[in-house]
């Protein structure tokens, strides 16, 4: 008899915006509640790992949103992430810090930036990540080098480019695709009305971007994780008969349960489990 495949769990977390303490508290509450351990944590960007005011100054955001947050304590090893955390960059990040290693790096114990584009294997789960958001004008340009920081807008560092998307396509396949903004065309017709007339989504067709969708269609991941809109949602992208991608959109950590999801991995199976009794959004 062949041994049963080992069962493992990982968590997905929406925009953190510097609230690492709350993120850790909520995830620890889940591990106690479920009596399970997490193998790793995937985070969809807007993590905001500022070591100091100097990092914060390189983030693109209105002044009222420029808060240092909790990260410095983790960086100084006064606090510690209990599980390995892997994050991509969103549109609010200290890119003056992150772009010092655009291929990704470990910022502090158990805290890994995946870089602008990255594919990696986490114990048999193939994760592909793409940092940044889409902007039509910036897409076909090159991102400014870090040496231009301060002489160009911080916003210029927040976009992914055509080259980034092409590199992500080269990953060929993925189990989990990590994106900041949503792929376009994920909102089911029955949910359309709820996306009408919202900020960043005048209509459901305006939600997400076509290049994120292109990646979903090319890599056919079993799971797509995204944040950015601070709004929990679950959708599907159909590829062929019996081939589809589950799309899990998460809200921000400050908003509570909608920012968290946990998945069980058994062999090649990947299933969402309930978050402390909270039903699917």
Question: Which stretches of the chain bind Zn ion, using CB under 5 A?
Answer: 15, 46
| Residue that the structure tokens 């290693």 belong to | 101
Choose between 92 and 222: whose C-beta lies nearer to Zn ion: 92
Residue nearest to Zn ion (CB): 15
Smallest separation (angstroms) from Zn ion to the CB of 220: 27
Choose between 15 and 26: whose C-beta lies nearer to Zn ion: 15
Choose between 200 and 244: whose C-beta lies nearer to Zn ion: 200
Q: How far apart are CA 170 and CA 17, in angstroms?
A: 30
CB-based contacts of 24, cutoff 8 Å, min separation 6: 79, 81, 82
Smallest separation (angstroms) from Zn ion to the CB of 91: 7
Smallest separation (angstroms) from Zn ion to the CB of 65: 9
Choose between 46 and 164: whose C-beta lies nearer to Zn ion: 46
Q: Burial, 210: exposed, middle or buried (Cβ in 10 Å; 0-12, 13-18, 19+)?
A: exposed
Smallest separation (angstroms) from Zn ion to the CB of 14: 8
- Widest Cα–Cα separation across the chain: 65
Question: What Rg, from alpha-carbon coordinates, does the chain have?
Answer: 18
| Residue that the structure tokens 């994760």 belong to | 127
């Amino acid at each position: 008899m062949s041994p049963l495949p080992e069962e493992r769990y990982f968590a997905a977390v929406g925009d953190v915006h510097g609230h690492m303490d709350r993120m850790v508290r909520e995830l620890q509450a889940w591990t106690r509640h479920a009596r399970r351990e997490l193998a790793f944590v995937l985070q969809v960007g807007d993590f905001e790992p500022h070591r100091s005011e100097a990092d914060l100054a390189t983030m693109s955001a209105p002044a009222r949103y420029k808060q240092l947050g909790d990260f410095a304590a983790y960086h100084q090893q006064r606090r510690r992430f209990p599980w390995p955390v892997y994050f991509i960059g969103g549109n609010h990040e200290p890119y003056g810090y992150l772009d010092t290693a655009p291929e990704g790096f470990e910022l502090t114990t158990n805290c890994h930036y995946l870089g602008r584009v990255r594919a990696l294997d986490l114990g048999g789960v193939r994760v592909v990540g793409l940092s940044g958001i889409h902007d039509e004008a910036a897409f076909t340009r090159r991102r400014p080098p870090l040496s231009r920081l301060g002489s160009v807008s911080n916003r210029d560092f927040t976009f992914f480019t055509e080259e980034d998307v092409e590199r992500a396509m080269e990953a060929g396949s993925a189990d989990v695709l990590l994106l900041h903004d949503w792929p376009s065309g994920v909102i089911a017709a029955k949910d359309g009305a709820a996306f009408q007339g919202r900020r960043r989504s005048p209509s459901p067709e305006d939600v997400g971007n076509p290049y994120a969708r292109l990646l979903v269609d090319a890599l056919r991941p079993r799971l797509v994780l995204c944040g950015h809109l601070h709004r929990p949602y679950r959708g599907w992208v159909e590829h062929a008969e019996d081939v589809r991608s589950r799309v899990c959109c998460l809200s921000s950590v400050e908003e509570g349960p909608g920012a968290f999801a946990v998945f069980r991995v058994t062999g090649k199976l990947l299933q969402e489990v309930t978050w402390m009794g909270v039903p699917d959004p």
